[in-house]
Structure 1
Amino acid sequence: MHQYELMVILDPGIDERTVAPSLDKFLSVIRQDGGTVDRVDIWGRRRLAYEINKKSDGIYAIVDFTATPATTKELSRQLNLSETVMRTKVLRAEEAIAQLAAHTKEREERAARKAAARSASDRVNAVSAAAEKTAAAEKTATVATPVEPAEAAITPADPLDSDA
Structure 2
Amino acid sequence: MPLYEHVLIARQDLSNAQAEGLIEHFSTVIGDNGGKVLGTEYWGVKTMAYKINKNRKGHYGFLRTDAPSAAVQEMERLARLHDDVMRVLTIKVDGHDEGPSVQMQKRDDRGDREERGDRGDRGDRGPRGDRGPREDRGPRPERR
TM-score (norm 2): 0.63
Match of 2:61, SS state, is strand
The question of whether the paired residues in 1 share the 8 Å contact of 2:33 and 2:70 is answered with no
Higher relative contact order (Cα pairs below 8 Å, separated by 6+ residues)? 2
1:63 counterpart residue number: 63
TM-aligned CA deviation for residue 39 of structure 1: 0.9
- How many residues are treated as equivalent by the alignment? 97
Question: 2:2 and 2:95 mapped to 1: Cα distance?
Answer: 11
Question: 2:41 and 2:28 mapped to 1: Cα distance?
Answer: 16
Amino acid at match of 2:15: D
**CA RMSD, Structure 1 to Structure 2 (Å):** 1.8
Which structure features the higher share of helix residues? 1
1:37 counterpart residue number: 37
Output aligned runs, 1:109-148, within 5 Å. none
TM-aligned CA deviation for residue 33 of structure 1: 2.1
Question: 1:28 and 1:62 mapped to 2: Cα distance?
Answer: 14
Match of 2:5, SS state, is strand
Q: Call closer, same or farther: CA 1:37–1:96 in 2, change over 3 Å.
A: closer
2:92 counterpart residue number: 92
Q: What stretches of structure 1 of length at least 5 have no aligned partner?
A: 98-164
1:74 counterpart residue number: 74
Amino acid at match of 1:5: E
Question: 1:85 and 1:79 mapped to 2: Cα distance?
Answer: 6
TM-aligned CA deviation for residue 26 of structure 1: 1.8
TM-score (norm 1): 0.56
Q: Which has the larger radius of gyration?
A: 1
Question: 2:96 and 2:17 mapped to 1: Cα distance?
Answer: 29
Question: 2:9 and 2:21 mapped to 1: Cα distance?
Answer: 15
TM-aligned CA deviation for residue 34 of structure 1: 2.2
Q: Where do 4+ consecutive residues of structure 1 move more than 6 Å?
A: none
**Identity score, percent:** 28
1:7 paired to 2:7: yes
Q: What stretches of structure 2 of length at least 5 have no aligned partner?
A: 98-144
2:83 counterpart residue number: 83
Q: After superposition, what is the alpha-carbon deviation per residue over 1:20-77, rounded to whole angstroms, capped at 9, x for unaligned?
A: 2222112211111221111111110000010011110011111101100111111100
TM-aligned CA deviation for residue 95 of structure 1: 9.2
The question of whether the paired residues in 1 share the 8 Å contact of 2:3 and 2:95 is answered with no
Question: 1:96 and 1:87 mapped to 2: Cα distance?
Answer: 22
1:54 paired to 2:54: yes
